[in-house]
Amino acid sequence: MNEFDSPILSVRHLNKQFGNGCESCRTQNPEQMLKNYCPVCGTVYACKDVSFDVYPGEVLGIVGESGSGKSTLMKCLYFDQEVTSGVAYIHTYKDGKKNLFEESGQYKRYIRNHLMGKVYQNPILGLKMDFSSIGNIAEKLISAGERHVGTMEARGIELLDHVCIPIHRSKEAPKNFSGGMQQRVQIAKALSNKPPLLLLDEVTTGLDLSVQASVLDLIKNLQRELEISIVLVSHDLGVIRMLADRTLVMLEGRVIEQGLTDQILEDPQHQYTQQLVHSLL
Ligand SMILES: Nc1ncnc2c1ncn2[C@@H]1O[C@H](COP(=O)(O)OP(=O)(O)O)[C@@H](O)[C@H]1O
Ligand SMILES: [Mg+2]
Ligand SMILES: [Zn+2]
């Protein structure tokens, strides 16, 4: 990334709440709230006024404890959930002038299929476990308009090879694979239409440490080679430290700190970030 590049993705004032809110919580008076939850009406304020940019070829880390709103943010960006309010622009989409959240379903599908890839913590959400691995990739290629079987097969094999799935296993279903291999297939699928932006939500959480290291290594290598931009979400600052150029820290739905990862690790400003960093040492 360099400072003269424009961001590939810009997000401003993103809010997501579950519930309609009530008089008590609309003012967001902290004394009336239990973290992000209103005890009067039960509304959860999962993301509050989240703004950030993602630059070409960078890894942006998002770190925060469980429940801080990381997955909700990723779901909103991938249109798995509707935002309550806010805007997002992709620089290469309609000259960066169209708020993605206001696009029709048809255009949102286009954006998901061509401009973004997503990898879920739970592979069941990202893969058809009974389809062959190469079939999972073909499905994504078809959704982006590919029709030629030979092309799809060649691309599928290339992608699986890229993520180190042996070619002779390409017809096997992900349900037969280990957790680490399933994540590799998800990554291959997410990359299949060469999107400029990859969204990774806790992709190594729950894997054995050695497997986790090898998947992180793969992500790092792919990112360098493809010069793709990545938003990497994790509750584990160790994972963020390994990969992220810049980092946002989330707490109770808000971004409480952001900056270069090295700077945040060396000189955390917010008390919560200080705790996170100290627990790494
Ligand atoms: N569908 C939903 N309905 C109500 N509350 C939800 C829903 N999804 C998430 N939440 C709440 O939103 C908050 C943020 O959750 P989430 O984005 O999953 O956090 P994280 O990924 O950081 O652990 C949590 O308080 C969670 O309970
Ligand atoms: Mg989550
Ligand atoms: Zn309320």
The sign of the torsion formed by the CA atoms of 55, 57, 63, 66 equals positive
Mean pLDDT of 114-119: 97
Which residues does residue 17 pair with via DSSP β-bridges, in sequence order? Answer: 45
Cβ 66 under 6 angstroms from ligand 1: yes
Is residue 203 a contact partner of residue 119, using CB atoms and an 8 Å limit? yes
Q: How far is the CA of 121 from the centre of ligand 2 (A)?
A: 8
pLDDT at 31 over 70: yes
Mean pLDDT of 129-134: 97
Cα–Cα distance between 105 and 127 in angstroms, integer? 22
Report the nearest-CA residue for atom 14 of ligand 1: 69
Cβ 64 under 6 angstroms from ligand 1: yes
Atom number, ligand 1, closest to the C-alpha of residue 18:
4
Cα–Cα distance between 188 and 64 in angstroms, integer? 27
Give the closest ligand to the alpha carbon of residue 40.
3
CATH fold of 3-115+195-280: Rossmann fold (3.40.50)
Report the nearest-CA residue for atom 8 of ligand 1: 72
Q: Domain coordinates of the chain in residue numbers?
A: 3-115+195-280
Tokens of 171: 């017809």
Cβ 46 under 6 angstroms from ligand 1: yes
Is residue 115 a contact partner of residue 93, using CB atoms and an 8 Å limit? yes
Cβ 67 under 6 angstroms from ligand 1: yes
Summarize pLDDT for 62-111 with one digit per residue, the tens: 999 999 999 999 999 999 999 999 999 999 999 999 999 999 999 999 99
Q: What are phi and psi of 171, to 5 degrees?
A: -90, -5
Comparison of pLDDT for 28 and 128, the residue scoring more: 128
162: region left, alpha or beta (phi > 0 left; psi from -120 to 50 alpha): alpha
Q: How far is the CA of 81 from the centre of ligand 1 (A)?
A: 11
Q: How far is the CA of 76 from the centre of ligand 3 (A)?
A: 22
Report the nearest-CA residue for atom 12 of ligand 1: 46
Cβ 17 under 6 angstroms from ligand 1: no
| Amino acid type, 176 | N
Cβ 65 under 6 angstroms from ligand 1: no
As a three-state string, the secondary structure of the chain is CCCCCCCCEEEEEEEEEECCCCHHHHCCCHHHCECCECCCCCCEEEEEEEEEEECCCCEEEEECCCCCCHHHHHHHHCCCCCCCEEEEEECCCHHHCCCHHHCCHHHHHHHHHHCEEEECCCHHHHCCCCCCHHHHHHHHHHHCCCCCHHHHHHHHHHHHHHCCCCHHHCCCCHHHCCHHHHHHHHHHHHHCCCCCEEEEECCCCCCCHHHHHHHHHHHHHHHHHHCCEEEEEECCHHHHHHHCCEEEEEECCEEEEEEEHHHHHHCCCCHHHHHHHHHHC
Mean pLDDT of 6-10: 96
Summarize pLDDT for 203-260 with one digit per residue, the tens: 999 999 999 999 999 999 999 999 999 999 999 999 999 999 999 999 999 999 999 9
Cα–Cα distance between 122 and 120 in angstroms, integer? 5
Atom number, ligand 1, closest to the C-alpha of residue 74:
17
Q: How confident is the model at residue 3 (pLDDT cuts 50, 70, 90)?
A: low
Cβ 195 under 6 angstroms from ligand 1: no
Summarize pLDDT for 158-207 with one digit per residue, the tens: 999 999 999 999 999 999 999 999 999 999 999 999 999 999 999 999 99
